[in-house]
Amino acid sequence: MFSTRVPDDRRPNDLAVALARARARGPLLDLTVSNPTRVGIQYPPDLLAALAAPAALTYQPAPLGMRDAREAVAATFVRRGLRMDPDRIVLTASTSEGYSLLFKLLCEPGRSNVLTPVPSYPLFDHLTRLDGVDQRRYALEYHGIWAVDFECMDAAWSGDTRAVLAVSPNNPTGSVLRESDAAELVARCASRHAALIVDEVFCDYPLGAPNPEPAALNAPSCLVCRLGGLSKTVGLPQVKLGWIALDGPDALVAEAIDRLELIADTYLSVSTPVQIAAASLLDQGGQVRSQILTRLRANDAMLRDVVGGANGAAVLPAEGGWSAVIRVPATRSEASLVLDLLERDGVVVHPGYFFDFPHEAFLVVSLLPDPDVFARAVRLLQDRLDAA
């Protein structure tokens, strides 16, 4: 869906209204879809069978999560060449809830702030506001690759900054946290008594060779909180299970775990059936991940093959995730181009300002759609750019 937030420096537009009207007229070629259960991915027919295990009929509250489920999550880090102690993992009902628990752990409502990256998905706007936390933005700067603008970060940092949020791979830029940036982030957080929260929900989907894990995040000198969940790792957004994996100095981790246990015990939001099924879901989910990754890479290659050329458009480099960014000539507004694609071609794309790109003109598309739908939409997009 389109964001209803329109930056002050752009005139209000009716993209959301136009989208609703276009949908009412008939099917569209939707390049904003992010729901893997609606794009033709084949799921194992017995994938959800473990949710009906007899053991799920017995309730045994476990604020941090059942041991077997936490061990299953820890095994996903081993698959990435990392070691993670199950005792340092906290289960949540979703990644969004994971953020909320961490804001409660780290921040004082009405006083504390966290630093969030831009461009990025606008979810942080809502999550910080709901927990009474001030959001301050730092820029990701593009110069052939995306990198943290540390001057911008330092300007946003204050004595009340309690955490820095990083997304790797980022949505929508597809950029990953490189060693140099990771080391700088850890050093700043350690020296300024803040935590580093790393959203890794797209880590299973490198668009090229597997992305190297930053060594700076291994035994870091600050509290590091890694977030993930079944929504992306198994392509099951409707099966609610997320996690927080903590690392850092032993004293900081122990204190965080103790306090998170109290916070989680207050809600006890993670269902017993999904915890019992976690190991099976994560194991069988490899079949789903493989299909999604193949789809993403094929659509990404097709997009880069078709878009660009004499019209001046270019697909920016990306290392992972489910999205692609297309830079287009700023001869017209993003809103105008997106509206034209919608009303004249039946193609739905996101404008760059949805993700707080700092200037015109960018389009953001999902790499998840059915390949036939994706190919038809991309060719119409290219034709529209050529015509412009």
CATH number at 252 reads 3.40.640.10
**Structure token pair of residue 225:** 């909180």
Q: What is the pLDDT of residues 53-110, one digit of tens each?
A: 999 999 999 999 999 999 999 999 999 999 999 999 999 999 999 999 999 999 999 9
CATH of the domain at 338: 3.90.1150.10
CA 300 to CA 207: how far, in whole Å? 8
Same domain, 62 and 176: yes
Domain that holds residue 349: 15-42+286-387
**Structure token pair of residue 55:** 């053991």
- In order along its 388 residues, the chain shows pLDDT tens digits of 334 434 444 444 568 888 888 888 889 999 999 999 999 999 999 999 999 999 999 999 999 999 999 999 999 999 999 999 999 999 999 999 999 999 999 999 999 999 999 999 999 999 999 999 999 999 999 999 999 999 999 999 999 999 999 999 999 999 999 999 999 999 999 999 999 999 999 999 999 999 999 999 999 999 999 999 999 999 999 999 999 999 999 999 999 999 999 999 999 999 999 999 999 999 999 999 999 999 999 999 999 999 988 789 999 999 999 999 999 999 989 999 999 999 999 999 999 999 999 999 999 999 999 999 999 999 999 999 998 7
Residue 376, pLDDT score = 98
Same domain, 277 and 297: no
- State how many domains the chain has: 2
**Quick check: is 272 in a domain?**
yes
List the Cα angle 190/158/101 in 5-degree steps.
Answer: 65
Same domain, 176 and 298: no
DSSP string, 336-349: HHHHHIIIII-EE-
CA 111 to CA 160: how far, in whole Å? 7
DSSP string, 222-262: S-EEEEEEHHHHSS-TTS--EEEEEES-HHHHHHHHHHHHH
**Model confidence, pTM:** 0.94
Residue 5, pLDDT score = 39
Closest CA to 149 of 128, 172, 175: 175
From the CA atom positions of the chain, what is the Rg in Å? 21
**Quick check: is 9 in a domain?**
no
Q: What is the pLDDT of residues 250-268, one digit of tens each?
A: 999 999 999 999 999 999 9
- Non-local (6+) Cβ contacts of 186 within 8 A are 196, 216, 217, 220, 221, 222, 224
**Quick check: is 2 in a domain?**
no
Same domain, 240 and 262: yes
Cβ–Cβ < 8 Å for 380, 345: yes
Same domain, 247 and 308: no
Q: Chain-centre distance of CA 352, in angstroms?
A: 16
Residue 10, pLDDT score = 43
Same domain, 237 and 327: no
* Residue that is written with structure tokens 């996903």 in the block: 76
Same domain, 111 and 227: yes
**Quick check: is 81 in a domain?**
yes
- Non-local (6+) Cβ contacts of 51 within 8 A are 239, 273, 274, 276, 277
**Quick check: is 5 in a domain?**
no
List the Cα angle 59/65/67 in 5-degree steps.
Answer: 95
Same domain, 177 and 267: yes
Same domain, 161 and 73: yes
**Structure token pair of residue 194:** 């803040």
